[in-house]
Structure 1
Amino acid sequence: MADRKVRVGILGASGYTGADLVRLLLRHPHADIRVMTAERSAGKPIGEVFPHLAGFGLPDLVKVEDAGWTDVDLAFCGLPHGTTQEIIAALPPSVRVVDLSADFRLTDTETYAEWYGHPHRAPDLQRQAVYGLTEWTRDQVRDARLVANPGCYPTAVLLALLPLVGGRLIDNSSIIVDAKSGVSGAGRSVKEANLFTEVSEAMHAYGVGRHRHMPEMEQELSRLAGEPIEMSFTPHLVPMNRGEFVTAYVKLADGAGVDDLRDALRRRYEGEPFVRVLGEGGSPATRHVRGSNLCILSVFPDRRAGHAIVLSVIDNLVKGSSGQAIQNMNVMFGLPETEGLEQVALFP
């Protein structure tokens, strides 16, 4: 595939995720955007919806039912959960898919129905789906027809905790995660709770005790541990556009120390282009990853003996969404994994 471009379609190009996909793909040397859909903005050029994307010769937006797929190799699906399953099921089998919704992340369809409020509408496709946390499922992603791109919170949490669970360095029954996200994580649709006067100069928790990303994180942690894992997780909305900051409070396993946690993260991600592990005392911030596909990790001792604090930061729209989706595309089509994702974080 490296000798020709991947012909791309974007379902849901008028959302924040779609806009960042377009932004990144425009500078991808092996990507050619052929189709973009948007229900309410169908018939418009993308520049009318996002002026920063004008002037690049992109196709006009169309409704999903009017999209042509004969000249498309890969579809990115950036539609809301609950709408993607039937649409993907109707795509030609020749079109490979990276789905950025939650519709194919949970392997158990009954768990999906419990957390998302309706039956899974494409169970046969679910059995084919590969969970796309690239650093951990690269080999499966390579040959997949359908990749379920992880959620933003799960990406930050799992990159931080999987090496510790896999190395049996923490007590799996005592994981507490406090997470904070920029407002773009709530999507672009008009909601009263996301109005400027509702979010500016304030912070609030949401999905308390039952956020929909919880079963996704527990699924992947349990899979690696070989036993069920339940965690405490509380997300918060903070008054910034982009960014995600995760603080995980963990109890050390017998005989493990804070340095062991840091060393495990370093060993697991050595050579990974998008994961950085800071040294002792290094503290990441969302401004260190803004606009990039990076995840930065750090470990601190807790003042309570036998406990540690693990920090993880990402840009929720890039590593937590569109950037990771392109990373998966690169793996699927045999391209260098960093292609189109070399952006250095915008600092300050």
Structure 2
Amino acid sequence: MAHKIAILGASGYTGAELVRLLSTHPSYDIVALSADRKAGQSMGQVFPHLRHVDLPVLVKIDEIDFSGVDLVFCALPHATTQNVIKALPSHLKVVDLSADFRLRDPADYEKWYGQPHAAVEMQREAVYGLTEFYRDDIRAARLVACTGCNAATGQFALRPLISAGLIDLDDIIIDLKTGVSGAGRSPKENLLHAELSEGTHAYGVGGVHRHLGEFDQEFSKLAGRKVEVQFTPHLLPANRGILATVYVKGDPQAIHAELSRAYADEPFLVVLPFGEHPSTRHVRGGNFVHLGVAGDRRSGRAIVIAALDNLTKGSSGQAIQNANLMLGEEETAGLMLAPVFP
């Protein structure tokens, strides 16, 4: 019997990506879709590329009957999700794609997001949703907080190396480029074609980007002591994709061997032969992460490069991986589609 699924915030990019992926999932039936300004419209009107999919009309959240729903994906803006999830029926499993439950300490949430956490009790039961590293917790969870797309990319490059003690924890630099869809679908002047195309720029410079909260939380937990990385994201004039170039002190061959060992059985994580470099064009529209390692001309330094699609593996694909575990399905169900190229 198919699991009944609702998507809140279906009119955004991550909502559309959830529908695209779930439309061919063997075990899920989308029974409710919510939107705010676009309530009353069909998904085909909002996203013409989904015209062929038989879907319910977009409605307001308070119009949804959750009694027959098994799991809810929340693809709502940050700072609005806490109150929405707090009001949902207790029988529902929830996969949250916002930042509202990612940080375990409510004080960290207030530090990085500028306001007190509005659902502290629920925060205590939330499980961090980086699937490959929290599988057992996710299987048993009612509420899973999916990671930030930038945070996921950096963690795939670094977590095994921190756990194995292969790199200098006080000298980690993450230089990251990301596509514009990561900024969401709401109109913004700086995202207009004339403002964005034919150039690129850094943002969140100097340790103020919110995904640093996740890096601090996860890397410090792994290391058993405080770890603070340098992280600078850059906005690319591209729709999709994240490329993170990570600079570390350590032996390049040992680093490559450890990533290869750690990810040998992971269906979505691909470690390239030593010296080969990943590209966003090779993961576009897929749930895969490509990782490459190279040595630097200076002895004892290495470069780790990670590429993923911010809307798929960085967000909606990760969310479906987590839902599959929560509902007892194969983790890869609905997610083995090949990336789109060219």
The match for 1:263 among 257, 261, 271 is: 257
The match for 1:333 among 306, 310, 327 is: 327
Q: How does 1:48-87 map to 2 (within 5 A)?
A: 48-87=45-84
Of 319-328 and 65-74, deviating more is: 65-74
Deviations 1:151-195 (A, max 9, x none): 101111101100000000001011100000011011000001100
CA distance in 2, matches of 1:27, 1:217: 33
What's the RMSD between the two structures over aligned residues? Answer: 0.7
CA distance in 1, matches of 2:215, 2:322: 19
1:230 partnered with 2:259: no
1:95 partnered with 2:89: no
The residue aligned with 2:211 is 213
CA distance in 2, matches of 1:26, 1:93: 26
The residue aligned with 1:346 is 340
Alpha carbons 2:215, 2:228 under 8 Å: kept: no
Query: 5+ residue gaps in structure 2?
Result: none
The residue aligned with 1:246 is 244
Q: How does 1:18-167 map to 2 (within 5 A)?
A: 18-167=15-164
Matched residue type, 1:305: S
Q: Please report the TM-score for the alignment, with normalisation by the length of structure 2.
A: 0.99
The residue aligned with 1:308 is 302
CA distance in 2, matches of 1:220, 1:157: 11
Q: In the TM superposition, what is the alpha-carbon distance from 1:56 to its structure 2 partner?
A: 2.1
Q: In the TM superposition, what is the alpha-carbon distance from 1:225 to its structure 2 partner?
A: 0.7
Q: How does 1:3-14 map to 2 (within 5 A)?
A: 4-14=1-11
CA distance in 1, matches of 2:9, 2:314: 17
The residue aligned with 1:278 is 272
Q: In the TM superposition, what is the alpha-carbon distance from 1:120 to its structure 2 partner?
A: 0.2
How many residues align? The count is 341
- Percent of residue pairs identical: 55
Matched residue type, 2:216: E
Q: How does 1:170-181 map to 2 (within 5 A)?
A: 170-181=167-178
Q: Would you identify which runs of 4 or more consecutive aligned residues in structure 1 move more than 6 Å?
A: none
Q: In the TM superposition, what is the alpha-carbon distance from 1:55 to its structure 2 partner?
A: 3.3
CA distance in 2, matches of 1:29, 1:156: 28
Of 161-170 and 264-273, deviating more is: 264-273
CA distance in 2, matches of 1:63, 1:173: 48
CA distance in 2, matches of 1:306, 1:55: 54
Matched residue type, 1:43: G
Deviations 1:203-259 (A, max 9, x none): 01111121000011121111111111001100010011000000000112xxxx211
CA distance in 1, matches of 2:302, 2:296: 5
1:169 partnered with 2:166: yes
Deviations 1:78-127 (A, max 9, x none): 01100000100100111100000000000010110011011000000000
